[in-house]
Amino acid sequence: MNSTFKKPEDSEIILTELMLPSHSNFSGKIHGGFILSLMDKAAFASASKFSGQYCVTASVNRVDFLNSIEVGELVTMRAKVNYVGHSSMVVGIRVESQNIRTGVVKHCNSSYFSMVAKDETGKTVQVPGLVLSNLNDMRRFLRSIKHIKMRNERKLEFSRQAFEPEKYKHALKDYNVRIDIEGYK
């Protein structure tokens, strides 16, 4: 068990950047890939600040783009560690945009990045424990545990070795698919 503990606030990163025309896609909105790149930087900074080590991205949870971001808006990302394992951390990131002229703020997306702390040789290293000092911290930590558990169960259920297609045949009847697998009825 780890004897060093830190609060989520010890990992907090706030990154703000002006959205330029060079960041836009063909429809004139800010390109989602550019936002994902900024989110990855925020996750790296938050996890590295918390762990005192360089960190790598292990996975990104679902990202739903809720509101588009316009050229000329300020984008602010707030990131902090929500969960820690032995060498892994889940960093929650909230993305908001602000119209400079009107002051209107929009929630654009939220996501969770799983980060792993590494030493100079590339080996995983233990990260500090997490102090849960309020109900929001506890809720975020428990949500991460549930997400990790569900991801592991889904990975096993749909692995080549464990997949049982008979279980899902009828589940596909309401979808726009046709099963045309030789030898499968």
Tens digit of pLDDT per residue, the chain (185 long)?
Answer: 567 999 999 999 999 999 999 999 999 999 999 999 999 999 999 999 999 999 999 999 989 999 999 999 999 999 999 999 999 999 999 999 999 999 999 999 999 999 999 999 999 999 999 999 999 999 999 999 999 999 999 999 999 999 988 888 788 888 998 888 887 76
Please list, residue by residue across 41-75, b when 16 or more beta carbons sit within 10 angstroms of its beta carbon and e when fewer do: ebbbbbbbbbbebebeeeeebebeeeeebeeebeb
- Give Cα 124 distance to the centre of its chain: 20
| Residue 69 · residue 61 · CB < 8 Å | no
Q: Map residue 69 onto helix, strand or coil.
A: coil
| pTM for this entry | 0.90
Q: Rounded CA gap, 181 and 92, in Å?
A: 41
| H or E element that contains 95 | strand 88-98
CATH number at 5-130: 3.10.129.10
